[in-house]
Structure formats: C-alpha cells, structure tokens
C-alpha cells in the first residue's frame, strides 16, 4: 500500500487517469437508452416506448436522490487512502454497502406508495401506465443491487481506480442490452423483458463489483471488524456527509424540474426547443463530470494525507483541464449547434426557436465548469454542510431571478439557470478558503 514520494505526487497523468475513464463511462450510458428504445420500437406500437421511458424516468429520479452513495463514498475512501488507513478503506466500503442494502430494502418495502406518487405525477395514458407499472413492479427488486453499484463505483473512484468503475459500467450496459433483446424480443416479454433485463444486469454488476473489490482489498492491510464498521463517530460522520449531499441533490433536482415545468408552461414549441438545448448541457456535463470526479478522488486523498501541497495541485490541475474542455465544448456548440438541432428535429418552428436560445446552451459549459469543479473539491473534502448551504442559496437565487426576469420570457428562464450555476460556484468559492485553513 506504500507509495514513493514521486508516485504519490499529483500530476496531469493522475488527473487524466481518473477523468478519461469516467468520461467514457458517462458517454456509454446513453447507449443503453438508445438500445431500449430501439428494442421497443420493433414492437410496433409507441405505447411500449412510452412505458419504458416513464418507468426508467421514475428509477432515474429515485436513484439520483441517493447519488450520495457514490459521492460520499468517493470522498471518505480517498481520505482513508491518503491517511494510509487500510481498515478504514475497508470500512468505508462496508458502511456504504450497509446503507445501500438498508435503503434498497426500504424502497422495496415502500414500493406501493412510491409507485402511487410517481404515476400520479406522470400521466402517460391508461395503457402506457399499465405497462409502465409492470416495468416498475419488476425492476424495483433490483434496488439494493443498483445502490450497491453506486457504492462500489464511488469506492473504486476514491481509490483512484476509475478504470475499474468504467469496466463495471460497460459490463452492466452490455449485460443489460443482451438480456433486454433476449427477453423483450426473443421471448416476447415486451416491457416486462426490458425490466427483467435491467434487473439481471444490476444484480450481475453488483456481484461482479463485489468480487473485484474482494480481490482489491488484499492490497490494503487490515481486516473487517464490526467495531470499526459500526464505530459510532465514524458512522455518524458517514451519515452526516451523505445526508447533506442528499439534501443538496434534492435541491438541485427541484431547480431543474422547475426549469422544465416553466418551459412546458411556455408552450409546446418552447418546451421542445429547450429539451433539445438541454441535450447539449447534458453531454457537456458528461465531459466535465470526469474532471470533477478526478478532483473528488485527488482532493480526498490530499485531505487524508493532510497535504496542503497535494490539495492545491489537485484543485489546480483538475480545474485547468476542466476549464480547457469547457471552452472547447462551448466553441463546439457555437460552431455545430445548428447542425445538431436540425438533426434532432425536422419541425421548422422548433428549429428556429432552438437557434434563438442556442447562445445560452453554448455559454453554459464555460459558466458551469466552476461549480462542477468546486462540487468535486468539496465532496473530496467531505464538506457536506457547505455544499448543502450553497445549493439552498443557489436555488433561492434561481427562483428570484426567474421571477425578476419573467418579462424576458424564455431568455429570462435561461438567464436564471445560468445565474443558478454561477451562484453555486460563488457560494462554494466563499467557503473555499476554509479548506486550505483546515490543512494548515
């Protein structure tokens, strides 16, 4: 487990070794949705596509709420690695898996009220809802395994082994695609086949991740002990970090849901145009997220080692790469955004509307990269309260800007979203000096 001083030093290679696999993993994820849509598209009725889309959306929102299992585990594991504490490295994974199992079991136990609330909000028609409920009733049983995958991915990233996280994600996607085709088309199970295929894939990925983790633990001294795993102070810290990240995530989800709701209120054309432009934002996030995750792992390790030098290097180098990628993304959207819009829709009115607001989508990577990076830095430092407070303040500003800019219509809505991300960066930037003082 020991490293030489040269091996431990933060450099560009270490940043890219974490960031590149995460970017590739992020870009591979949409392929699964495309494959599911293509499989359902061969069923000959759009209700099948709609049912899978609604069912998958429910799980995306539920699991995103518990994304703290990935983020919190990354920071805590990286700090244990920096401190060269093999037993805490083990315990960080163990506690995360215990939380994943408990939350997953609770989701299964509460599946009826969860489904009732979700389908009350998502109205897709009687037949579509019937099929989507079938999807939900099957896939909900994979909840403990899906959340365990979050914990495992976070643990591997915290160890700086993003390549293993990538391999697990690719494995999950390939198993999912295979069984979706085999069950939905081969056996004619339709929507139920898609749900069953996803369940099988999430279980298989969790078991594979546990097997790889077991082999990896041999490199870290120590052993599983109930006393360390259930240590009251460390367990309380884990819960506190995850609680604050969860609150932050819910607040961010609310803000983006508000943006979508107000887009819908502006009419079908505006909603369609904004939905297309948000695809640029999503793809940009796939790239920028890789460098934010690199910051998480490297900053966490620096905090564990109590190294101010490594902290400064980790923050600076990962942000340097992220800023460069953000500039390239913005330039690319400015240059080729019109072509992509034309590819995504043939409706002349939607095309025209999307071009009017393309400026905002093109500027967002440059405006948002700072909050992504600071999120990663604060997650690595496991500073949950600051992230929670920043998210609450940013959401309040977003709603204020939206209200003040109502006379400017959709331009005002996009400006409020840009202000939201800038406020996230500014509020975390306010807290940033505390991190350096903590290492002084």
Res 278: pLDDT? 84
pLDDT-derived band at 180, boundaries 50, 70, 90: confident
| E strand or H helix at 66 | none
pLDDT-derived band at 114, boundaries 50, 70, 90: confident
Following DSSP, what letter does each residue of 96-131 receive, concatenated?
Answer: HHHHHHHHHHHHHHTHHHHHHHHHHH----HHHHHH
- Are 136 and 56 in contact by the 8 Å Cβ rule? The answer is no
State pTM to two decimals.
0.85
Q: 370 pLDDT exceeds 60?
A: yes
pLDDT-derived band at 131, boundaries 50, 70, 90: confident
Compute, in degrees rounded to 10, the torsion defined by CA atoms 137, 141, 143, 145.
-150
Of 61-70, 190-199, 357-366, highest mean pLDDT: 357-366
């Amino acid at each position: 487990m020991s490293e030489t001083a040269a091996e431990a030093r933060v450099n560009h290679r270490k940043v890219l070794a974490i960031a590149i696999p995460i970017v590739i993993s992020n870009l591979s994820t949409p392929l699964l949705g495309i494959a599911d849509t293509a499989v359902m598209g061969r069923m000959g009725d759009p209700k099948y596509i709609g049912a899978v889309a609604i069912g998958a959306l429910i799980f995306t929102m539920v699991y995103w709420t518990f994304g703290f299992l990935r983020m919190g585990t990354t920071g805590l594991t990286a700090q244990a690695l920096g401190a060269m504490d093999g037993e805490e490295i083990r315990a960080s994974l163990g506690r995360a898996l215990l939380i994943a199992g408990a939350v997953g079991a609770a989701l299964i136990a509460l599946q009826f009220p969860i489904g009732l609330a979700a389908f009350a909000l998502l109205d897709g028609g009687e037949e579509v809802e019937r099929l989507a409920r079938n999807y939900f009733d099957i896939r909900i049983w994979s909840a403990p395994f899906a959340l365990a995958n979050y914990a495992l991915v976070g643990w591997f990233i915290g160890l700086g082994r993003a390549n293993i996280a990538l391999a697990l994600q690719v494995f999950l996607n390939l198993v999912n695609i295979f069984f979706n085709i085999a069950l939905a088309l081969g056996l004619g199970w339709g929507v139920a086949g898609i749900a069953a295929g996803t369940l099988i894939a999430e279980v298989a990925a969790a078991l594979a991740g546990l097997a790889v983790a077991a082999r990896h633990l041999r490199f870290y001294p120590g052993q599983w002990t109930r006393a360390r795993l259930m240590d009251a102070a460390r367990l309380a810290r884990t819960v506190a970090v995850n609680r604050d990240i969860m609150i932050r995530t819910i607040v961010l989800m609310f803000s983006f849901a508000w943006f979508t709701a107000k887009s819908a209120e502006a009419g079908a054309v505006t909603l369609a145009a904004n939905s297309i432009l948000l695809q640029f934002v999503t793809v940009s996030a796939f790239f920028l997220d890789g460098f934010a995750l690199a910051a998480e792992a490297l900053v966490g390790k620096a905090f564990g080692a109590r190294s101010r030098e490594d902290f400064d290097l980790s923050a600076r180098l990962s942000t340097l790469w992220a800023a460069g990628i953000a500039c390239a993304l913005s330039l690319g959207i400015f240059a080729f955004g019109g072509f992509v819009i034309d590819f995504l829709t043939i409706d002349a009115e939607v095309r025209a509307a999307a071009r009017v607001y393309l400026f905002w989508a093109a500027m967002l990577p440059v405006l948002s990269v700072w909050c992504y990076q600071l999120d990663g830095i604060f997650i690595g430092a496991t500073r949950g309260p600051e992230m929670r407070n920043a998210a609450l303040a940013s959401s309040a500003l977003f709603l204020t800007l939206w209200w003040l800019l109502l006379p400017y219509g959709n331009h005002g809505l996009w400006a409020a979203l840009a202000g939201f991300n800038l406020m996230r960066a500014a509020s975390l930037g306010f807290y940033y000096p505390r991190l350096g003082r903590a290492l002084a």
